[in-house]
Structure 1
Amino acid sequence: MKAVLLGATGATGKEVLELLLQDSNYDKVDIFVRRTVALQHDKLNVHVIDFDAPETWGHLVTGDVLYSCLGTTLKAAGSKEAQWKIDYDYQYEFAKRAQENGIPNYVLVSASNASPDSFFFYSKMKGKLEEAVKALGFPKIVIMRPPILVRENSERTMEVIGVKVLRFFNRLGLLRSQKPMETKRLAEAMIKSVQTLPQGEHTIEEQAILEV
Structure 2
Amino acid sequence: MAADARVALVAGATGLVGREILARLLADKRYVAVHCVGRRAPFQVHPKLVVHLTDALSAFTAPPVDDVFIALGTTIKGAGSQQAFRAVDFDAVLAVARSARAAGARRLGIVSAMGANAKSTVFYNRVKGEMENAVGRLAYDRVVLARPSLLSGDRSALGQPGRGAEKLAATAMRLLRPVTPANYRAIAAADVAAALVGAVQASPSGHTVLLSGDMQPR
Give the TM-score, by structure 2 length: 0.88
Could you list the runs of 5+ residues in structure 1 that have no partner in the other structure? none
- What is the CA-CA distance between 1:100 and the residue it aligns to? 1.9
Q: Distance in 2 between matches of 1:61 and 1:157?
A: 39
2:3 aligned residue: none
Aligned mates of 1:68, 1:138 — CA distance in 2: 14
Q: Distance in 1 between matches of 2:57 and 2:177?
A: 42
Letter paired with 1:190: L
Please say if residues 15 and 187 of structure 1, whose CA atoms lie closer than 8 Å, have aligned partners that are also in contact. yes
Alignment correspondent of 2:206? 200
Q: CA deviation at 1:176?
A: 3.6
Aligned equivalents of 1:53 and 1:145: distance in 2?
Answer: 24
Cα distance between partner residues in 2 of 1:92 and 1:29? 20
* Aligned partners of 1:3 and 1:66 also within 8 Å: yes
Q: Judge conservation of contact 2:58–2:96 (CA < 8 Å) in 1.
A: no
Counterpart-to-counterpart distance in 2, 1:177 and 1:36:
32
Q: Which has the larger displacement, 84-93 or 198-207?
A: 198-207
The correspondence of residues 2-41 of structure 1 with structure 2, limited to 5 A, is: 2-37=7-42, 39-41=44-46
| Ranges in structure 2 where 5+ consecutive residues have no aligned partner | 1-5, 157-161
- Deviation of 1:38 after TM superposition, in Å, equals 5.2
The alpha carbon displacement at 1:198 in A equals 4.6
Equivalent residue for 1:131, pick from 117, 130, 133: 133
- Deviation, structure 1 residue 209: 2.4
The Cα shift of 1:13 comes to: 0.6
**1:161 matches 2:163:** no
Deviations 1:98-124 (A, max 9, x none): 122220000010111110111111111
TM-score by length of 1: 0.91
Distance of 1:53 and 1:88 partners within structure 2: 11
Q: Distance in 1 between matches of 2:80 and 2:48?
A: 35
Task: Report the 3-state secondary structure (helix = DSSP H, G, I; strand = E; otherwise coil) of the residue aligned with 1:144.
Answer: strand
1:41-190 map, 5 Å: 41-51=46-56, 54=59, 57-58=60-61, 60-153=62-155, 155-171=162-178, 173-190=179-196
TM superposition shift of 1:211? 7.2
What is the count of residue pairs matched by the alignment?
A: 208
Asked if 1 retains the 8 angstrom alpha-carbon contact of 2:94 and 2:134, the reply is yes
**Would you say the 8 A contact 2:38–2:57 is kept in 1?**
no
Say if 1:166 and 1:175, in contact at 8 Å, map to a contact too: no
2:144 aligned counterpart, secondary structure: strand
3-state SS of paired residue (2:21) = helix
Matched position secondary structure for 2:31? coil
Check conservation: 1:4, 1:62, Cα contact below 8 A: no
Percentage identity across paired residues of the two chains: 30
Amino acid at match of 1:164: T
Q: Conserved in 2, the CA contact under 8 Å of 1:61 and 1:94?
A: no
Q: Distance in 2 between matches of 1:138 and 1:108?
A: 12
SS at 1:113's partner residue? coil
